[in-house]
A and B are shown apart, each in its own frame.
Chain A
Amino acid sequence: MIKIILKKVAQVMVVMLLISIFSFAIIELAPGDISAMYITADMSAEEQAMVMEKLGLNKSPVERYWEWLKEALHGNWGYSLSYKLPAMGMLTKRLPSTILLMGTSLLVSLCLSIPLGLIAGYKKNTWIDNAISGFAYFGMSIPSFYFGMLMIILFTAILHWLPSSGMHSFGVNTPLDTAKHMIMPVMTMALSSMASKVRYVRANTIGQLSEEYVLAAKAKGTSGMTILFRHVLKNTLLPIITIVGMNMASLVCGSFIIESLFGWPGIGSFAMEAIGKQDYTIIMAYIMLSGFILVMGNFVADILYSFADPRIKRGIDVANGK
């Protein structure tokens, strides 16, 4: 078991390293850089060179990557080129509001999709199933930002119930107010990740219902709902772990678009701004941070999965000749 975890840790590190090389290369290949903000046409060549040196742009990309990596491993992520503040600090300051959004929408999507999937699987091919599956199709096919826009149209423009952007109303700082601001972004984020979960749980439930233990429970006279929520639920929860891990990707990337749409003051909208300014220390720090959240999500899911399902551990042990 420890061997597997170590192997996974090594894998995570390699992926992180590659992500960093990849994103550094992209930023390097891009035409134009931050110096455009400082260099004006009337500067002399010497002055320009000085600016370049101060920004560290006079070195070769490989040198700069190496320096960046060395510093990053020491926990120093560089200073934002446009704000002159530590890049990671600026991101971590905004991280809680992003995590609040991501966590809530993950919770909402789990709480809704598992029962829906179970019921759809149980009532296979009835109108209930068709309605739920149709809903899942809808969630899968609608661009998340568009769903967000539709919510704004309905709840802000027509009904005037909810505020369309930001995290607090001006001068108000109560949990209730924040919750009101959160409803639309959370629902938007939850919808797209719900679709795949509902479909998975449904398919799994259908598979589980043909197992013998369900037949045995039925023969004993257990009611349908008890079978569903007592026995089948446990067995369908396993793959959900992996899906939640995979979902981290859509949550992290979704936060990007949804934060921009709803003006949520998190790391996504902040990074979007940094991309516009070509502030590469912030972009790098953001990619590494969200890449880390993403990769760790998958990593934890893998480990949890093998703990939750002893069959897998045994399978791996057998494969390893134990």
Chain B
Amino acid sequence: MENKVVINENSFRRMEKKEKDLGVVYRRSIWKDIKKEIKANKMAIAACVFLAVIIVACLLAPLSPYDPNALSLADKFAEPSLKHPFGCDEFGRDYFTRALYGGRVSLLVGFSAMLVTVFIGTTIGIFSGYIGGKLDMLLMRFTDIFLALPSMLLMVVLNSFLKPSITTLVAVLSLFSWASVARITRAETMSLKERDYVIASRNLGAGSVQIAVKHILPNILGPVIVAASLGVASAILTESSLSFLGLGISVPNASWGSMLQGAQAFILDRPILAVYPGVLILLTVLSFNVLGDVLRSALEPKIVK
């Protein structure tokens, strides 16, 4: 009894458990590709570092000793100093604190709009591409129309009638940007659904939802991540334009765009007030754009030569 060898699952797998270095990596995960590409590109590292710093700073904004909306007329237009690193605005509010809180709004709107956009776009894209036929045609005509609409124009009209808040901003921004994501994911889905492994899994009895989630979604992740990065950039840009037109979140709260709107009135006397929020928008959007391009060359090597 004691010498009897019990054969269990482990006995078969033991050989495979030892990893052999074959010199060829068969399991290339998306994240490994991204990491490699970012490490190789100095601009990308700088973009990542800047974004990390700005996100952490905005998250830590409540640590600032000042209230972003508290008026203090004694400090009106205070020059930048140790006490007020960016100086003060026309109401004596600490500009640095306001910039951090404004960044919270801008980043929140940017990220949420991107998430909603990607979610709606990917769902419609996969659905349309996978089911095909008449439904696909109908959905794609619908998408075409959304792509052809003068979006900025309608956004301005829509926003001027809605009560401005973060939710409406996100809703309006995503309403006009899901279409391009849907286009990309649909095209990818169309080519993926004819692949052998998808056909095999369908023949094995997998349901449509299962195939879409397990086989198609992971394989279109690349273009979706690229679109997401560029989407954050454009959402922040558009939000700043809307806020600049006075259609962003309501006063006294601020976003970077509405700070610029406030600074516009003093542009000839206190140009420095316009510089800070604008540079923050510029650098943040720039970082997301750089990141988007790097991600593209990491994830879609076919397209980039």
Task: List residues of chain A with CB under 8 Å of any chain B CB.
Answer: 11, 14-15, 18-19, 22-23, 26-27, 29-31, 137-138, 140-146, 149-150, 152-153, 156-158, 164, 206-207, 249, 252-253, 256-257, 260-261, 272, 275-276, 278, 283, 287, 290-291, 294-295, 298
Q: Is the CB of B233 within 8 A of A141?
A: yes
Inter-chain CA distance A11–B244, complex, in Å, is 34
Interface residue ranges of B217-276 to A (CB < 8 Å): 233, 237, 240-241, 244-245, 257, 260, 263-264, 267-268, 271, 274
Q: Is the CB of B161 within 8 A of A142?
A: no
Give every chain A residue within 8 A of B240 (Cβ-Cβ).
143, 146
Task: List residues of chain B with CB under 8 Å of any chain A CB.
Answer: 144-145, 148-154, 156-158, 160-163, 233, 237, 240-241, 244-245, 257, 260, 263-264, 267-268, 271, 274, 278, 281-282, 285-286, 289-290, 305
Q: Is the CB of A30 within 8 A of B162?
A: yes
Q: Is the CB of A141 within 8 A of B285?
A: yes
Partner of B245, one of A138, A150, A249, A260: A260
Give every chain A residue within 8 A of B163 (Cβ-Cβ).
31
Inter-chain CA distance A186–B150, complex, in Å, is 21
Q: Is the CB of B160 within 8 A of A276?
A: yes
Q: Is the CB of B241 within 8 A of A19?
A: no
CB contact under 8 A between A31 and B268, given known A145-B244, A257-B241, A287-B150: no
CB distance from B112 to the nearest CB of A (A): 19
Looking across the interface, which residue of chain B has its beta carbon closest to that of A136? B289
Q: Is the CB of B149 within 8 A of A19?
A: yes
Q: Is the CB of B289 within 8 A of A27?
A: no
Q: Is the CB of A275 within 8 A of B156?
A: yes
Dominant SS among interface residues on chain B: helix
Q: Is the CB of B158 within 8 A of A157?
A: no
A-B contacts besides A137-B290, A146-B240, A294-B148, 12 pairs, CB < 8 Å: A15-B149, A18-B149, A23-B157, A26-B158, A29-B161, A137-B286, A153-B267, A157-B268, A249-B151, A253-B150, A287-B150, A290-B150
Residue of B161, B162, B267 most packed against chain A (CB within 10 A): B161
Count A-B contacts at CB 8 Å: 122
Give every chain B residue within 8 A of A294 (Cβ-Cβ).
148, 150
Give every chain A residue within 8 A of B267 (Cβ-Cβ).
149, 152-153, 157
Inter-chain CA distance A256–B305, complex, in Å, is 37
Give every chain B residue within 8 A of A252 (Cβ-Cβ).
150, 153
Q: Is the CB of A143 within 8 A of B245?
A: no
Q: Is the CB of A143 within 8 A of B149?
A: no
Looking across the interface, which residue of chain B has its beta carbon closest to that of A260? B245
Partner of B145, one of A14, A27, A207: A14
Looking across the interface, which residue of chain A has its beta carbon closest to that of B161? A30
Q: List 10 A-B contacts (CB under 8 A).
A: A26-B154, A26-B161, A30-B162, A142-B285, A143-B281, A145-B260, A149-B278, A207-B305, A249-B150, A278-B161
CB distance from A23 to the nearest CB of B (A): 6
CB contact under 8 A between A287 and B289, given known A30-B162, A149-B274, A276-B160: no
Give every chain A residue within 8 A of B153 (Cβ-Cβ).
252-253, 256, 287, 290-291
CB contact under 8 A between A18 and B145, given known A23-B157, A26-B154, A275-B157: yes
